[in-house]
Amino acid sequence: MNKPAGIVVQQRMHHPDEPYLHADVERHTSPAYLLQRLDRGTSGVMFFSKREDVNARLTRQFQRKRIEKRYVAICEGALAAPRTVDAPIARTGAITFGVREGGGRAITHVRPVHATPRGSLLELTLETGRTHQIRVHLSAIGHPLAGDWLYGARNAARPMLHAAEIAMTHPLTNEPLRVAAPLPDDFVEEARGRGIRVA
């Protein structure tokens, strides 16, 4: 499914009455096994499976790093050259994380698509899956995610991060499977307002 921004994926401990996506999916398909989680402000591809055995096979693919996830983001400032951020991430507060020695290893590959002084369109792939990994790594290199008030940028309505594509092996047929989600309108408008070209 293509998750809109602003929706919580799972129930939060201190917000028991807050609507959340997993419950909504289970109202239509039960059971629904959640393969991965996206932050509230992030839009894009999410996977639910109807069967426990299928979920187990997909989980193994995740653990063995056989599932590829591609994200698209808008960051602050002109980031013109590709780079790999290999920096450990650890919890720094109740809801925050940061680059810290002794944290879990985290690797993010960053490829600029179009850079302007007002912001850059990026494609990102992850070798690891740390909480807030993209957000923390972009902030650490001085190009925080546009709209990410938690990590240093407030001038957009939400964190401009979109889970664009997941590639995996189909758990039943073993055929290659690739699922993509188009960029939402607010993301495209934010990019164009900064003079960033989007396809």
Q: Mind telling me the catalytic residues?
A: 39
Q: Which are the contacts of 65, defined by CB distance < 8 A and separation ≥ 6? A: 127
Contact between 66 and 170 under an 8 Å Cβ cutoff? The reply is: no
Q: End-to-end distance of the chain based on CA atoms, in angstroms?
A: 21
Q: What angle do CA 183, 124, 87 make, to 5 degrees?
A: 145
d(CA 14, CA 2): 26
